[in-house]
Structure 1
């Protein structure tokens, strides 16, 4: 693949293929280098910024993921997947919740049937204290992906904040039965211990 890049550096597909291979082999830093190399060939691409944002997201390097998501949106303001991802990390960090809501709504407008987008919009509503709206989004997401422990956990937290201990307990226990190691499992256990 590197040979293909060397022979024709302006042909973009080999960069993506090589970065994907690196990611499959868990060589994230090499994948990052490949995506960054794409900017030298064509700096006006949103997709490499999105992919870098995703990698940095998984590494919990949220400052870098936010930087790349924002760069992608500057190039393509309607990039719904990027808007969704940026909305989620902003909400998750309790940062710029009004902006997060605008981004999540943009994503929902373009990807209305996507359960992950529904979860993001619900999470932003939850963070803003709009619990009934959050419950609606989480419930819609679970129609599409009923076994998603993270969404069930989000729904359980929302019921907890609304003061409905019975529904909160049921949802949080269900989330932990499905996956006792999802992101948020420790908080689910803490909330359950206090119910």
Structure 2
């Protein structure tokens, strides 16, 4: 899909005021959400000097003036989080100057903010093509790949970024996150600590360490690193959401709800915060408020699979299995290759009494996740029920 033929489905998202982030939020039979990804904390500014991004110097004066105007408008809209109009302005630049480094870079950032990671990846790959020696171009390509769950490819691009700039702390931090997602906790811990050494006030590596310690059953160290992350930026909803959900996994229900309420107070338009709050409210049997929060999350981020899966789980908790199945299907339309969503849909279909549909989804899940014990057990149980009909 070319940049000029991109569907304007994004026009319905002009009120989407969330950062370039998403939470991998799906529900296994236990009902606990799996916040697998560390969210991009703050998208870094281009490392290149401002002069390097000024590509109008060699253009005819009138053309340069038009490009500068569109770029300035795009920057203004982006700062206001008016992503639809920012998209239009940067596309106008590319239409006049197809290899404009900054326009492609900013288009990628806009699309990341709108959770359109496939299109963002395409833009950042253009940036790498235009300027392969840019550390930031490789870094943002890696970010898009990471958000798509393509961790091996992301690792390669983070390493390319670090070859150009070995001391770029965010690249070390998210390289650590990719290794964490692969279960390589020792390497992840090493990279996170390197990021902290280079930039002690960077939040992300503390989040990665917190998750590594949690997953290796060191809860005290995990909480300590979450507190360090929150302390660096107490008003950041991303960090508080991560901490709040982690506390919930530790069954610290009251503390969890407190952190998640602080997250949505810090930024009422931050959809993952509402998803997390809806989860903890449901866990505490506050189902009416949980449903309200989950619906609000979907209204803030209608093009995000995570908000739909969060709402699906809340519906399952109140016994509305038809609505739960519908929301999981909507999530899969957005993220059709997500095995955990297929698993969640299979379990929801089972709860609805659709044995054949559940078996079909879980068979697909076992192909995507051949070592998932829970899916195998559920599938075996459903096969037995079908044979007894």
Could you say whether these structures have the same fold, taking a TM-score greater than 0.5 normalized by the shorter chain as the test? yes
Q: CA deviation at 1:172?
A: 2.1
- Which residue of structure 2 aligns with residue 83 of structure 1? 274
Q: CA deviation at 1:97?
A: 1.9
Cα-to-partner distance string for 1:126-172 (whole Å, 9 max, x where unaligned): 22222222222111111122232322222222322332221122112
Q: CA deviation at 1:50?
A: 1.7
* Cα separation, 2, equivalents of 1:71 and 1:182: 35
Q: How many residues align?
A: 183
- Which residue of structure 2 aligns with residue 61 of structure 1? 250
- Which residue of structure 1 aligns with residue 67 of structure 2? none
Q: CA deviation at 1:109?
A: 0.4
Decide whether the 8 Å contact of 1:94 with 1:127 is kept in 2: no
**Please, what is the CA RMSD of the aligned residues?**
3.2
Higher relative contact order (CA 8 A, sep 6+): 2
* Cα separation, 2, equivalents of 1:4 and 1:148: 34
Decide whether the 8 Å contact of 2:206 with 2:228 is kept in 1: no
Cα-to-partner distance string for 1:49-74 (whole Å, 9 max, x where unaligned): 123124445xx214244332122223
Decide whether the 8 Å contact of 2:359 with 2:379 is kept in 1: no
- Which residue of structure 2 aligns with residue 106 of structure 1? 296
* Cα separation, 1, equivalents of 2:307 and 2:258: 20
In structure 2, do the counterparts of structure 1 residues 30 and 96 end up closer, same or farther at CA, with 3 Å as the change threshold? same
Decide whether the 8 Å contact of 1:149 with 1:182 is kept in 2: no
- Which residue of structure 2 aligns with residue 130 of structure 1? 320
Any stretches of 5+ residues in structure 1 without a counterpart? 6-13
- Which residue of structure 1 aligns with residue 206 of structure 2? 19
1:150 corresponds to 2:340: yes
- Which residue of structure 2 aligns with residue 9 of structure 1? none
1:139 corresponds to 2:329: yes
Residue 203 of structure 2 aligns to a residue whose secondary structure is: helix
Structure number with larger C-alpha Rg: 2
Any stretches of 5+ residues in structure 2 without a counterpart? 1-195, 215-219
